[in-house]
A and B are shown apart, each in its own frame.
Chain A
Amino acid sequence: MIGWKYGDLLDLSDLTREDIERVIETAKAFKEVSTRDIKKVPALRGKTVVMLFAEPSTRTRISFELAAKRLSADTLNVTVSTSSAQKGETLLDMAKNIEAMNVDMIIVRHKSAGVAHVLARALKPGVINAGDGCRAHPTQALLDMFTIQERLGRIEGLNVAIIGDVLHSRVARSNINGLVKMGAHVTLCAPTTLMPPGIEKQGVAITHKLDDVLPRADVLMFLRLQKERQEEKYLPSIREYVQHFGLTTEKLKNAKKDVLVMHPGPVNRGVELSAEVADGINSVILEQVTNGVAVRMAILYLLFGKKEKVS
Chain B
Amino acid sequence: MSILIKKAIIVNHANISKEPQDILIERGVIAKIASKISDPADKTIEANGKYALPGLIDLHCHLREPGFEHKETIETGSRAAAKGGFTTIVCMPNTNPVIDNAKIVEGILKEAKRVGLVHVLPAGAITKGEKGEELSDILELKAAGCAALSDDGRTVYNSQLMRHALEYAKMANMIIMEHCEDPTISKGSMNEGYYSTLLGLKGIPDIAETMIVARDIELARYLKTRIHFCHISAKRSIELIRQAKAQGVAVTAESCPHHFSLTEEAVQSFNTNTKVNPPLRTKEDVEAVKLGLKDGTIDCISTDHAPHAREEKELEFDAAPVGMIGFETAFGLAVRELVDTKCITWSTLVEKMSFMPAKILGLPEKGEIAEGKSADMVIVDPQKEWVVKEETIVSKSKNSPFIGQTLKGLVETTICSGKISYQA
Residues of A within 8 A of B (CB): 83-85, 90-92, 110-115, 117-118, 132-136, 170, 173, 196-199, 201
Chain A residues within an 8 Å CB radius of B195: 198
Minimum CB–CB distance for A229 against chain B, Å: 14
The answer, yes or no, to whether B66 is at the interface (CB within 8 Å) is no
Chain A hits for B199, CB < 8 A = 113-114, 135
Interface status of B194 (Cβ within 8 A of chain A): yes
Interface residue? B302 (CB, 8 A): no
**Chain A to chain B: the 9 pairs with minimum beta-carbon distance, closest first:** A135-B200, A198-B194, A112-B316, A114-B270, A134-B200, A196-B197, A113-B200, A90-B314, A114-B317
Residues of B within 8 A of A197 (CB): 192-194, 196-197, 203
Bound state CA distance, A201 and B197, in angstroms? 10
Q: Is B194's CB under 8 angstroms from A91's CB?
A: no
Report B173-208 residues with CB < 8 Å from chain A CB.
192-203
Question: With the chains together, A197 CA to B200 CA distance in Å?
Answer: 11
**In the complex, A113→B315 CA distance in Å?**
11
Say yes or no: A83 contacts B316, CB within 8 Å: yes
Inter-chain contacts of A173 with B (CB < 8 A): 197-198, 200
B268 CB, nearest partner CB in chain A, Å: 9
Size bracket of the B interface: 20 to 34
Cβ of B363 within 8 Å of any chain A Cβ, yes or no, is: no
Most buried by A among B192, B194, B197, B315: B197
Dominant secondary structure at the B interface: loop
B318 on the A face (CB < 8 A): yes
With CB as the reference atom, state the residue of chain B lying closest to A170: B200
**Chain A min CB distance to B420 (Å):** 40
Contacts of B196 in A (CB 8 A): 196-197
- The smallest beta-carbon distance between A9 and chain B, in angstroms, is 16
A170–B200 Cα gap in the complex (Å)?
7
Question: B115 at interface (Cβ–Cβ under 8 A)?
Answer: no
Known pairs A85-B316, A133-B200. 20 more at Cβ < 8 A? A83-B316, A84-B316, A90-B311, A111-B316, A112-B316, A112-B317, A113-B199, A113-B200, A113-B201, A113-B270, A133-B201, A170-B200, A173-B200, A196-B196, A196-B197, A198-B193, A198-B194, A198-B197, A199-B197, A201-B194
Please give, as numbers and ranges, the residues of chain A lying within 8 Å of B316 by CB-CB distance: 83-85, 91, 110-112, 114-115
Q: Determine how close the nearest CB of chain B comes to the CB of A223; give it in whole angstroms.
A: 14
In chain B, what residue has the closest Cβ to A118?
B270
The answer to whether B34 has its CB under 8 Å from any CB of chain A is no
Q: In whole Å, how far is A95's beta carbon from the nearest beta carbon of chain B? A: 11
Chain A hits for B223, CB < 8 A = none
At the interface, yes or no: B319 with Cβ under 8 Å from chain A?
A: yes
Binary CB contact string for chain B from 314 to 332 against chain A (1 if under 8 A, 0 otherwise): 1111110000000000000
* Chain A residue at smallest Cβ distance from B310: A90
Q: Determine whether the beta carbon of B318 is less than 8 Å from that of A113.
A: yes
Report the Cα distance A198→B317, complex, angstroms.
21
Give Cα A55 to B335, complex, Å. 46
A170 to B199, CA, bound (A): 10
Chain A residues whose C-beta falls within 8 Å of the C-beta of B201 in the assembled complex: 113-114, 133-135
Interfacial residues of chain B within 118-148, with CB under 8 A of chain A in the complex: none
Could you tell me the distance between the alpha carbons of A204 and B294 in the complex, rounded to whole angstroms?
A: 39
Closest chain A residue, CB of each to CB of B270:
A114
In whole angstroms, what is the CA distance A197 to B199 when docked?
12
Q: Could you list some 17 contacts between A and B, CB below 8 A?
A: A92-B314, A111-B316, A112-B316, A114-B317, A132-B200, A133-B201, A134-B202, A135-B199, A135-B201, A170-B200, A173-B197, A197-B193, A197-B194, A198-B193, A198-B194, A198-B198, A199-B194
Question: CA of A121 to CA of B103 in the docked complex: distance in angstroms?
Answer: 47
Please name all residues of chain B whose beta carbon is closer than 8 Å to the beta carbon of A136 when the two chains form the complex: 200
Residue of B nearest to A232 (CB): B187
* B196-251 at interface with A (beta carbon < 8 Å): 196-203
- Closest beta carbon of chain A to B418's beta carbon, Å: 45
Q: Which of B283-326 contact A (CB under 8 A)?
A: 311, 314-319
Q: B197 contacts which chain A residues (CB < 8 A)? A: 173, 196-199
For A113, what are the chain B residues with a Cβ–Cβ distance below 8 Å? 199-201, 270, 317-318
Once A118-B270, A198-B197 are accepted as A-B contacts, the answer to whether A91 and B315 lie under 8 Å apart by CB is yes
**Min CB distance, B316 to chain A, in Å?**
3
Give every chain B residue within 8 A of A133 (Cβ-Cβ). 200-201, 318
Q: Point out the residues of chain B lying under 8 angstroms from A85, CB to CB.
A: 315-316, 319
Q: How far is the CB of A283 from chain B (nearest CB, A)?
A: 27
User: How distant is the Cα of A196 from the Cα of B203 in the complex, in angstroms?
Assistant: 10
Q: Which residues of A contact B192 (CB under 8 A)?
A: 197
Binary interface encoding of chain B residues 145-175 relative to chain A, with 1 for a CB under 8 A from any of its CBs, else 0:
0000000000000000000000000000000
CB atoms of A112 and B319 under 8 A apart: yes
CA of A85 to CA of B197, assembled, Å? 25
A28 CB to nearest B CB, Å: 30
Q: Which residue of the partner chain, among A90, A117, A135, A196, contacts B315 with CB atoms under 8 Å?
A: A90
How far apart sit A196 and B199, CA to CA, in the bound complex (Å)? Answer: 11
CA separation between A136 and B200, bound complex, in Å?
8
Q: Which among A117, A170, A196, A199 is the interface contact of B270 at CB below 8 angstroms?
A: A117
Interchain nearest-CB distance for A246 vs B (Å): 24
